[in-house]
Amino acid sequence: MHNAGSRDITFAEAVREGLDNAMERDSRVILIGEGVPDPKAIFNTTAGLRNKYGAQRVFDMPLAENGLTGVCIGAALSGMRPVMVHQRIDFALLAIDQLINNAAKWHYMFDGKASVPLVVRVIVGRGWGQGPQHSQSLQAMFSLVPGLKVVMPTTAYDAKGMLLSAIEDDNPVMFIEHRWLHQIKDNVPEESYRVPLDKAKILHEGNKVTVAAFSYMAVESLIAAKGLMAAMGIAVDVLDMRSVSQLDVASVIDSVRKTGRLIVADTAFRTGSIAGELIAKVVEQAMDLLTTKPVRVASPDHPTPTSHFMAEHYYPTPQTIADAVLDMLGADKNSDAYRKLCELLQRDGPHDTPNRSFKGPF
Amino acid sequence: MHHHALYRSMLRIRRIEEALADRYAEQEMRCPMHLCIGQEAIAVGVCAALSASDVMFSNHRAHGHYLAKGGSLNAMVAELYGRSTGCCGGRGGSMHLIDLDVGFMGATPIVAGTVPLAVGAAWAASLKKEKRVSVIFLGDGCFEEGVVHESMNFAALHKLPIVFVCENNEFSVYTHLSERQAKRPIYRIAEAHGLMTQVGNGNDVDEVLTLAKTAVQNAKHGKGPQFMEFSTYRWREHCGPDFDDHLGYRTTQEIEIGLKDCPIAKYEQRLKQSNSLSQADIDKYEVEIREEVIKSFEFALSSPKPTAMDAMERVYA
Ligand SMILES: Cc1ncc(C[n+]2csc(CCOP(=O)(O)OP(=O)(O)O)c2C)c(N)n1
């Protein structure tokens, strides 16, 4: 759908535009993070903002993740609306005390007398040997703490709309961006708009299987769905979950009512994953709708190895997701249609870069 | 340590890293890599003051520290190529180096993450009454992290045999020190925590060695934690093989001054002037190092490739 005043821009540009819109509308919004005003501008998501809004609203940051999170919480309690950004979610782990003990609980423990309108943008790394300490996908860990909202937008449209909603929300929001989404384009309106922080979105429709997916896995699931349709005429529902802490279980159940089958695709380790939580909720609320046991598609329960030889099969691919669908349907994989599907889903380029133009080191 | 050994050790690190940078474009070392070209004198000078039993922790920019401490070159290059023979069996890459045989306890890329570990190693040495020091390398950026202050306090409280080595290259990625820290010398922070401090030119290997010897002696003789701040300059981009001067975060003039202050060229000149190093010596070292480097790449490239099955091992001890 191409609206007037909209055009195709990347996820990174959409984040930048969301920040720009928010800062333009509300002088309480300030932006801080390591590298925010530097020449690389957090993968170009903060480009030009220092020039436009000045050094009193757009800040670089000392390497002090925990302390500065607390400082931002204090500022948020005092009328500002800070947006922090960390180039990797792994660096936000240093701030976990402030995020969990203070930000997540302030509103509750003080009887709703105050709230923390803080957005923490964090980026999940992947590929080119990001390895054990630069590519963790920790959405489930943050989501287990009540009081923190955790979202993972997938499309550029949602990145902008959900960022604007997050900044206007009176709660602390972890805004998780997957590094491999940054370069993907989508149709995005120029003006500001909001996308809710607790609703899934249907990316592809079908009645055979429900594939509920998070973040980059929604991109992979959509590729799988299109391949399944083109090669084998199998139609699956793909839901981009978008929210992690406030799971849109109702939308998943609506889809499962149609399909009777559920696969959840996650970017994280399998055990303790939010995929497991979603399945638990669906089973609790609608087990009778399921005609077969649900399946998680996720990464294995070990740290991400750096070596590209070892990491080759670490991440689920469209093929993994398509195979899960076919296995669930008991479909014949010894067929020309299946071989055609595999051909369609063949990756163009190395497994450890988001696209062919990528030459490292990030 | 003999002048030649200091010179050769710096030259070796430089040539190894230049070779890594040259071959990075082949896209077979598929991991982030932070080069220490320009900063070699600190690693070499400090390590020259240590004994084999002394231990060391490091950070994302670890090649020089690892090599100067005697870490296996083959295991490092193989690690960058993601091979089974790498020092982490491929799990780590450039930002995660280890060689326990030479007391190189580990380098990781979370800023300041290894600082308390080095204090812990010093604590263990003191509890076990072992006469060894623990050394930690920290960039200027580390002083913004709370854990550094917590670590210094504990080290001072227990008079632990640890040597903090601050490599102050004034930058964290593209951000200058003045945008991250209030105007005051870094070493005074250590002083305030009760550490004995020294300040020196990190591009002068003799000076680094002299200061390091004092620090190591003090630490070994129960005088508590030691702190050294060395000024230096990172020549290449923060992460990756190239120069990044086109980004404009450092002025041309500053870069020129930085590159002129080459620790290796300066030392070469000094040794030549005092007739303690000849061109023939240098040529010989260059040849030896080139051969060693070529062999290390051959070793890495002919080493077995780990698989996804290997990746599942080692999650628990
Ligand atoms: C906790 C944490 N925050 C941020 C980063 C990203 N980062 C990697 S290296 C680096 C710069 C560190 O600067 P410094 O300690 O001065 O060392 P230098 O790179 O100059 O050697 C930063 C910010 C990180 N790895 N870990």
pLDDT tens per residue across all 317 residues of chain B: 589 999 999 999 999 999 999 999 999 999 999 999 999 999 999 999 999 999 999 999 999 999 999 999 999 999 999 999 999 999 999 999 999 999 999 999 999 999 999 999 999 999 999 999 999 999 999 999 999 999 999 999 999 999 999 999 999 999 999 999 999 999 999 999 999 999 999 999 999 999 999 999 999 999 999 999 999 999 999 999 999 999 999 999 999 999 999 999 999 999 999 999 999 999 999 999 999 999 999 999 999 999 999 999 999 99
The CA distance from A86 to B111, in Å, is: 13
Which residues 121-150 on chain B approach chain A with CB closer than 8 angstroms?
A: 141-142, 144-147
The CA distance from B7 to B90, in Å, is: 31
Q: How many angstroms is it from B59 CA to the middle of ligand 1?
A: 9
The CA distance from B95 to B92, in Å, is: 7
Between strands A262-269 and B175-176, the pairing is unpaired
The verdict on a CB contact (< 8 Å) between A61 and B180 is: yes
CA torsion angle for B212, B215, B220, B223 (degrees, to 10)? 180
The verdict on a CB contact (< 8 Å) between B239 and A362 is: yes
In chain A, CATH 3.40.50.970 sits at: 6-189
Residues with CB under 6 A from ligand 1: A 34, 63, 65, 91, 94; B 60-61, 109-111, 139-142, 169, 171-173, 234, 238
Q: Are A213 and A264 in contact (CB under 8 A)?
A: yes
pLDDT of residue A197: 98
Total CB pairs under 8 A between chain A and B: 140
The CA distance from A35 to B172, in Å, is: 9
Is A90 an 8 Å CB contact of chain B?
yes
Which residues 154-213 on chain B approach chain A with CB closer than 8 angstroms?
A: 172-175, 179-181
The CA distance from A18 to A154, in Å, is: 15
DSSP secondary structure letter of residue A245? S
- Helices B40-48, B263-273: axis angle to 10 degrees equals 60
Range list of β-strands (E), chain A: 6-10, 29-33, 58-59, 81-86, 119-124, 149-151, 173-178, 185-189, 201-204, 209-213, 236-240, 262-269, 295-299
Q: Are A148 and A115 in contact (CB under 8 A)?
A: no
Q: How many angstroms is it from B171 CA to the middle of ligand 1?
A: 9
The CA distance from B251 to A318, in Å, is: 47
Is B307 an 8 Å CB contact of chain A?
yes
In chain A, CATH 3.40.50.920 sits at: 201-344
User: Per the structure block, which two tokens stand in for B265?
Assistant: 């060229």
- Residue whose entry in the numeric block shows the structure tokens 């051969």: B291
The CA distance from A16 to A52, in Å, is: 12
- Helices B263-273, B3-24: axis angle to 10 degrees equals 150
The candidate with the shortest Cα–Cα distance to A25, out of A192, A171, A173, A163, is A192
The CA distance from B164 to B142, in Å, is: 11
The verdict on a CB contact (< 8 Å) between A39 and B144 is: no
Structure pTM? Answer: 0.97
Q: Are B297 and B77 in contact (CB under 8 A)?
A: yes
Q: How many angstroms is it from B145 CA to the middle of ligand 1?
A: 10
Q: Which of B31, B40, B172 to mutate to test the pocket of ligand 1 (most atoms within 8 A of CB)?
A: B172
Q: How many angstroms is it from A180 CA to the middle of ligand 1?
A: 22
Interface test with A, best of B87, B88, B175 (most A CBs within 10 A): B175
The CA distance from A323 to B103, in Å, is: 47
- Chain B positions touching A38 (Cβ under 8 A) are 173-175, 249
- Chain B positions touching A39 (Cβ under 8 A) are 174, 247-249
Say whether the peptide bond before residue B241 is cis (omega within 30 degrees of 0). no
CATH fold of the domain at A201-344: Rossmann fold (3.40.50)
- CA–CA min distance B72, chain A (Å): 18
Q: Are A274 and A304 in contact (CB under 8 A)?
A: no
Domain layout of chain B by residue ranges: 2-312
What does the DSSP assignment read for B152-204?
Answer: HHHHHHTT--EEEEEEE-SEETTEEGGGTS-SS-HHHHHHHTT-EEEEEETT-
pLDDT exceeds cutoff 60 at A1: no
DSSP secondary structure letter of residue A98? I
pLDDT of residue A4: 67
Which residues of A are designated catalytic? Answer: 65, 134
Taking phi over 0 as left and psi of -120 to 50 as alpha, with beta for the rest, B116 belongs to alpha
The 10s digit of each residue's pLDDT in A229-250 is: 999 999 999 999 999 999 999 9
For residue A298, the SS3 value is strand
Q: How many angstroms is it from A208 CA to the middle of ligand 1?
A: 48
ipTM of the complex: 0.95
∠ CA A87-A114-A192, rounded to 5°: 50
The 10s digit of each residue's pLDDT in A271-301 is: 999 999 999 999 999 999 999 999 999 999 9
CATH fold of the domain at B2-312: Rossmann fold (3.40.50)
Give the contacts of A37 (CB within 8 A, at least 6 positions apart). Answer: A46, A49, A50, A55, A58, A59, A60
The CA distance from A239 to A242, in Å, is: 9
- Chain B positions touching A40 (Cβ under 8 A) are 174, 247
Q: CATH assignment of A6-189?
A: 3.40.50.970
Q: How far is CA B283 from CA A140, A336, B4, B275, in A?
A: 58, 64, 13, 16
The verdict on a CB contact (< 8 Å) between B32 and A311 is: no
The CA distance from A38 to A169, in Å, is: 28
The 10s digit of each residue's pLDDT in A154-183 is: 999 999 999 999 999 999 999 999 999 999
